[in-house]
Each structure stands twice: as structure tokens, then as C-alpha cells.
Amino acid sequence: MTTGQSRVARLVLPVGERDHVQGPSDAQATLVEYGDYECPFCGQAYPIIKAVQRHLGRRLRFVFRNFPLAEMHPHALKAAIAAEAAGAQGQFWPMHDLLYENQDALDERSLTRYAESLRLDLERFRSELRAETYASRVQEDFMSGVRSGVNGTPTMFVNGVRHDGPWDAESLTEALIATAHTRTG
């Protein structure tokens, strides 16, 4: 093996059927976030990404993948599983938003309260949360992140390449547009 001097970290797991996606599949730009629901920096990124989405509209596809730092954040894994459990009932994004809007209350009782407010099948939600039904899926997200060079949370991939620059709305938008593919045909 050789000494690497300039690695470009790229997304190794392409965006696909398994992902939670907002925006059209043929959007010009794709933003993938690896995030942790208990991470305050991800909490800061949450409204910024919303702003970028509003600004770019149908030109942007946004994907969220789980990267819970479970050693550091005791509620992160359960919260990720809760979002997946809501996703199994068609409510991933509303739960995702609720979690980021209530980062200081991610204990099991609070998670159930959010599920209730989304009118989920509570019995199913609770049992899936307890059984950690979606833990393997969360782990799959996590490992795909590790292999792609995720180096903390949040890590963003702009059109498949790790974004090492600042992630205020303006910088992110600029990066997304600069490397967007132009539609052909």
C-alpha cells in the first residue's frame, strides 16, 4: 500500500431505494447528511438545510442517513430507531423534524409522545422501539458513513463528495450549485 496524501472522501453507498429522500430523483444537486439527533451541531444544521431546500426547490434532492454517536449521546440510537419506526409507518420526515425541534427531550417517553402526535400506530411503534427493530438499518447507515469518510456529525456530501467547507446556507447552496449536473436531454 502507498502513503496517501490527498484522499477525496466520496459517498460509497449511492442514494437509492433504501434512503429517505426529499426532492425529485432527477434533481440537479444532491445533498446527503449523516446526522445524529442528539448532536447540537446537527441541530444547528437542521434549519440551515431547510433554508437551502427552500432556496433550491426542485433543483435539490436531500437525503438523511443516521450516524448516531452512541458513546457520546445516550439517546441518539433510540432517536434514530424512532425515526425509522415512524418511517415504517410513512412518517419519517415529520418525525425527523420533531426530533430536531426537540433535541433536549429524546427519552423514550418523549419519543412516544411524538409518535402519538403523528397519529402512528402506537403499539407497533413502541414494540419496534423496544425491540430496536431498525437497529441494523441504522448500523448500515453508520457503516456506509464510516466507509465514505464521515468524520463527525453532521457530515454533508455535496453531489457525492464530502463537504469539508463551512455549511452555512450560502456556502452550502454555492457548493451544491457549483457541482450540480446540468440536465441533458
CA distance 111 to 30: 29
Q: In the complex with other proteins, which residue's Cβ is closer, 24 or 74?
A: 74
Q: Least distance from C-beta 5 to other proteins, angstroms?
A: 6
Task: Verify binding: residue 153, other proteins, rule CB under 8 A.
Answer: yes
DSSP assigned state of 29: E
The residue among 23 and 35 lying less far from other proteins, judged by its C-beta, is 35
Please, what is the minimum distance in Å from the beta carbon of residue 36 to other proteins?
7
**16 touching other proteins, by CB under 8 A:** no
SS3 134: coil
Size of the site for other proteins (CB under 8 A): 30
3-class state of residue 28 by DSSP: coil
- Which positions ≥6 away from 154 have C-beta within 8 Å? 33, 34, 35, 36, 39, 41, 42, 45, 67, 167
- The residues that touch other proteins, with contacts defined as CB under 8 A, are 1-5, 7, 9, 12, 36, 39-42, 67, 69-73, 142-143, 146-153, 164
